[in-house]
Amino acid sequence: MTQYRDTERAQFEIFKSLPRDTPIDMLNLVQFHPQAEYPADHPLASENLTGAQAYANYGAGSGPVMARVGCEIIWRGGFEVSLIGGPDEHWDTMFIAHYPNAGAFLAMVTDPDYQKAVVHRQAAVMDSRLIRTTPLPPSDIFA
């Protein structure tokens, strides 16, 4: 199974080319390393943190930045089983982050405080998906 930890440049360029002035929801699916993989020179490298603990550090550092740009978590869920997908595929955390617009997301990822926090995400994550979506109104049908 191919694993993805960070955005590839080509995908980020597509994201930046899309409208920036409309609300977006970002679907996050994250699988943690059993043990965080900090760079050898990082102060937490010898602490033997789990991926979940490193991700909690990411949340603590990035949360204030997310709030500052107007982001809110509108859904969180605990993984149980994939009915469609690989039988070995699982996610440790899943959530949807709502941003008032794509510009707010870009402001977040370029914020200096966020840049300090993202090292924890990089140490924590073994595999992830980050999917930009357009919010649609609720409906009784899915089509």
Number of folded domains in the chain?
1
Parent domain of 50: 26-133
Residue 40 belongs to a domain: yes
- The CATH number assigned to the domain holding 35 equals 3.30.70.100
Provide the pLDDT for residue 16: 85
User: Does pLDDT of 32 surpass 60?
Assistant: yes
User: Does pLDDT of 5 surpass 80?
Assistant: no
Residue 5 belongs to a domain: no
User: Does pLDDT of 1 surpass 60?
Assistant: no
Distance between CA atoms of 101 and 22, rounded to whole angstroms?
Answer: 5
pLDDT digits (tens, 9 = 90+) for 48-97: 999 999 999 999 999 999 999 999 999 999 999 989 988 888 999 999 99
E-strand spans in the chain? 24-32, 72-77, 93-99, 125-133
Both tokens of 95, joined, read: 């959530």
- The reply to whether the predicted model has a pTM over 0.85 is yes
